[in-house]
Structure 1
Amino acid sequence: MRNLITDVPGLRIGQASDAALASGVTAVIFDQPAVASVDVRGGGPGTRETDLLLPEKTVAAIDAVVLSGGSAFGLDAAAGVQAWLAEQGRGFAIGAARVPIVAGAVLFDLINGGDKAWGRFPPYRELGYAAAAAAGCDVALGTVGAGYGATTADLKGGLGSASAVTESGDIVGAIVAVNAVGSATIGASGHFWAAPFELNGEFGGRGLPAPWPADANRLKMKGAPPGANTTIAVVATDAMLTKSEARHLAVMAQDGLARALFPIHTPLDGDTVFAAATGRRALSDPVYGLARLGSAAALALARASARAVFAATALPFEGALPAWRDRFGA
């Protein structure tokens, strides 16, 4: 176990970043089509192919999920991933044709100081292709991929991942790009909201603050319009799930964001969590097994969210937000 989503057998992660653009793409590539669903919350989402992930829709499995910066322009990243998958002969078979099924979500990072004067066509399609081509088991964290240009209310955001094993032996993992309107830390302290769930000092080992800060409940929010934020994530498991069960896994996993970020799911966010099952082992129990799986996914996503901020480095632009390490040390 490497404490990464790639601990879940049957998937790989690819990432591509552009330092001048101050943005990037993270692609989750499934070795075989994976059963998947999604839960979308907040007032300003930017998504692709989420309707077909509803349990009652026809397509049973997907080939990839893409997380991207770039706001609506970043939706092009999925086309790049789709192009790479098509070259591999992947896709939903319709007669002689094959159509790779790629879902995705984007976050807003258009005013972070990077050069967004890209001309007629945004660069996200090429970034998506590069991310898919680079897919493997190693996952860089922090200022990379979809988290490259991400920010929170008071600190640099980023890309995080974590994994866990349930009592029944099911593996669950999470990957998240944290670009929240709120904050990952409690008040003005460097302590993370996700501290009670930390394992092995994975985001500094500071625990909860004592005494409890007087400003802990004070709202820290970006002063931005709706859609200018958003935390987007994928949780995955090696268990066999139906689309309906994957949908419930995504719903439960959203609680991980609520345990790591405050506030969350506001009208200014477009928070989206995908859930995917690679189907390598039977779920121990369709009720209690799914409850255990969802609980583990929520905690893994909370930990991944804190790791995203903990691992981030500041962007080299005037007025850029500091990274957690800049303000609170290693």
Structure 2
Amino acid sequence: MNKMRSGILKIITLSTLLALTTGTAASLTDQAKANSNFITEVKNNGTEKVASDSMIYKRTATASDLNKHITQSLQFNFIKDESYDKETVVLKTAGNIASNARILDPYAVYTSTKRWPGEYKVSVNLPETDSTAIIDYAPRNHDETREVSDTVGFNIGGGLNIKKGGDANINAKYNFSETIKYKQDAYRTFLETPTTGKDITWGVVEAYNINVRGYGPYNREKENDKLGLYGNELFLNGRKSSKNAGKNFVDQNQLPALIASSFNPEFLTVFSHDYDDKGKSIIKVKYERVMDDYLITWKTFYWKGFNNKNVAKESITVAYEIDWDNHNVKVIGAV
């Protein structure tokens, strides 16, 4: 009897062990697949001595989500100015946010929808519990120019300055400088409010002035024909086209780059940190596209278009650890 119980116990134990092992293996496989779609890299770009005993430490941290087609490329410039009681970091948030524009039902006959990015956003969030604080940023204001450009210049012992555009002679004027430049065809940049010493968000960049095949300008809300028959013609290929709904959208190659392909953000955030505030800080950076649904539908004799704003948000938020003592950056991961 005891032998039988022992045999049963061994079988149960072995079965349980196999089940647990199989479950763990499956869990690890799922985790590996998830991790394989999120790629990170940190580079030490060297150290530069400026003035007498002040230093600039340059680091780059990259995080890519292959599923969401969003890449953050952050350039950290630690400026250790011995004449100032705080350390300054000039953070350049660059990278790529794919438009992810697509027709949701390409074979539909009478009604079809195109999902597209009505707006992009970039946010920087600093910890509430330490001395790290935003002291400047660029762009500072609403900007509707086709190409946005700003430059920050920093002088050891003399503070910093941000100005519009580039400056061919800026290297001669400052110990350190960084320039941002990005294109926003048919879009515009605005700074979301409120902006605090711990948070900043750029509304990158709301579609408002889109010309298609010489017609327009169109935007996310406007109905263009005076009679209101055709509604919003933003991506409508033909008012009385004989094509099925899924084939009656304007071709991607005729649209602005931020809709057809992607947006390449470049923003500057300048923040300071007390020297006597030892330890590490966690900052969070969020890249986001806010998707609209543009719908066309057949109205017996003609096509009519409608645009529904803000139907979906696709984003990644990544946490980065700043080691102030060693002037290093570590990618913690998506949060």
Q: TM-score, normalised by structure 2?
A: 0.24
- Structure (1 or 2) with the greater helix fraction: 1
Structure whose CA Rg is larger: 2
Q: Which has the higher contact order (CA 8 A, sep 6+)?
A: 1
- Structure (1 or 2) with the greater strand fraction: 2
